[in-house]
Amino acid sequence: MALLSVLHTLQDTIPFDVAVAHVNHMLRGQESDGDEDFVRAAAEGFSLPAHVKRVDIHGLAKSSGKSIQHAARDVRYDYFSELARTYGYQRIAIAHNQDDQVETFLLRVVKGTGIRGLSCIPVSRGPIIRPLLDVTRREIEQYVTEKGIRYREDSSNRKDAYERNYVRHRILPPMERLNPTVRSRIMSLLGDLTRLNERLDREARSLLTTWLPGDGEITLPVGQLIACSEETRFRILSEVLGRLAPGFIALREHIRLVEKVLQSSRPSASALLPFRIIVLREYDKLVFTAATAPPQVVETFPLRPGHTVVEALGISVDIDLVDHPPSEFSSDRYSAFLDPGSVSRLSVRTFREGDRFVPLGMAHAVKLKDYFISRKLPRTHRRRIPLLLIGDCIAWIIGERIDDRFKITAQTTKVVGVTVRKLSTISE
């Protein structure tokens, strides 16, 4: 009622429209109905439109598993937002005051929170504004008394069963006996913490703007991430997890799990988080993905001269048989010219344990796994790289390197030209 009076008075100097919104939570029977009637009458007294909604909060809380206070708060804010969209209201004014900030601070300290949770309630966020946030409850009570403003007090405000009331009635009075200015001291501390949080948030946002590619898989540079302060890193990781799984609120234990992967000495450490988010350490990259890993393709697909589509691997393969090598080799790493020798059977498949090949320029075979490790190819990518086989031998790690045994030489009499392309339906 104090807020309504202030806004109505401001209309004399600042032109804007005001409407009143009220949710009847139906928790206190006739008293709740009396509150509704009072709000309607107050709006009528100011010649303002009144929007009222009745909700069985007790039943809603029971069915949703939320506390009564949590369910009531969600219903109120959802209703206010719905009204703003429907009627074009640009601001939703809430009457939070300075005492609410002090009580919220103490509740968060008692329940447990990090630095991020110790900030002032924002004066504005989106369409929400809180014009009385720096005003104490005592000042508000003095104002309504001086102005003769009628109001009703929720009788549940006197019940210590609610956490906020317990802090208000049982915690703050003894603290004020120790220090009569404890509320202002808490507000001063909150101001310092808010400025610290704003600085850390700016740093995190700046780095995220540089690193994040958008939706889908998110990759962060390990070195730069480790160089961040622990608190900045917490905000970065929380934001990444929230982007991959909207609604996922990262807790300290989730971030500690990510930190273990980040700090791991193993180049391919991983962890599974809620919402099926997978975090992988891939050498100098930290990769987050909520996508299910594609099943491994174990088949071997025969190839013939001409154009062949291998949908299972997401590629198309063009094969030309020519009598002599080209005068100039292409720099396209997805095109290769090979000497098949006396073998005519070509096929394509993916990596299998025990695979070996002779890298171009070398005389001895190496394990394909060791080659991948030397190239720092992430474990998750290794089984997606197509391999061109001539006979039973790996002739080309497509996009990477050919086998020395199938290189073009002066003695080459038959040449196989191969070009591989990803299908347009397969994302890069």
3-state secondary structure the chain: CHHHHHHHHHCCCCCCCCCEEEEECCCCCHHHHHHHHHHHHHHHHCCCCEEEEECCHHHHHHHHCCCHHHHHHHHHHHHHHHHHHHHCCCCEECCCCHHHHHHHHHHHHHHCCCHHHCCCCCCEECCEECCCCCCCHHHHHHHHHHHCCCCCCCHHHHCCCCHHHHHHHHHHHHHHHHCCCHHHHHHHHHHHHHHHHHHHHHHHHHHHHHHCCCCCCEEEEHHHHHHCCHHHHHHHHHHHHHHHCCCCCCCHHHHHHHHHHHHCCCCCCEEEEHHHEEEEEECCEEEEECCCCCCCCCCCEEECCEEEEEHHHCEEEEEEEECCCCCCCCCCCCEEEECCCCCCCEEEECCCCCCEECECCCCCCEEHHHHHHHCCCCHHHHCCCCEEEECCEEEEECCCEEEHHHCCCCCCCCEEEEEEEECCCCCC
Domain map of the chain by residue range? 2-185, 212-289, 301-422
Q: What is the CATH number of domain 301-422?
A: 3.50.40.10
For residues 279 and 270, what is the distance between their CA atoms, to the nearest angstrom? 6
Structure token pair of residue 318: 């063009």
> Is the whole-model pTM more than 0.85?
no
Q: What is the pLDDT along the chain (428 residues), one digit of tens a residue?
A: 999 999 999 998 999 999 999 999 999 999 999 999 999 999 999 999 999 999 999 999 988 888 888 899 999 999 999 999 999 999 999 999 999 999 999 999 998 888 888 899 999 999 999 999 999 999 999 999 999 999 998 888 888 877 889 999 999 999 999 999 999 999 999 999 999 999 999 999 888 887 766 556 788 999 999 999 999 999 999 988 888 877 677 888 889 999 999 998 887 788 888 888 889 898 888 988 876 555 678 899 999 999 999 988 889 999 998 877 777 777 788 999 999 988 889 999 999 999 999 999 999 999 999 998 888 776 767 788 899 999 999 999 999 999 999 999 888 888 999 999 987 433 33
**Confidence at residue 380, expressed as pLDDT on a 0 to 100 scale:** 66
Task: Return the CATH superfamily for domain 2-185.
Answer: HUPs (3.40.50.620)
Nearest alpha-carbon partner for 277 in 287, 267, 264: 287
Q: Would you say the CATH fold of 301-422 matches that of 2-185? A: no
**Confidence at residue 428, expressed as pLDDT on a 0 to 100 scale:** 30
**Confidence at residue 163, expressed as pLDDT on a 0 to 100 scale:** 87
Nearest alpha-carbon partner for 280 in 208, 350, 217: 217
User: What is the CB neighbour count within 10 angstroms for residue 156?
Assistant: 15
**Confidence at residue 84, expressed as pLDDT on a 0 to 100 scale:** 94
Topology annotation, domain 212-289: 3.30.465
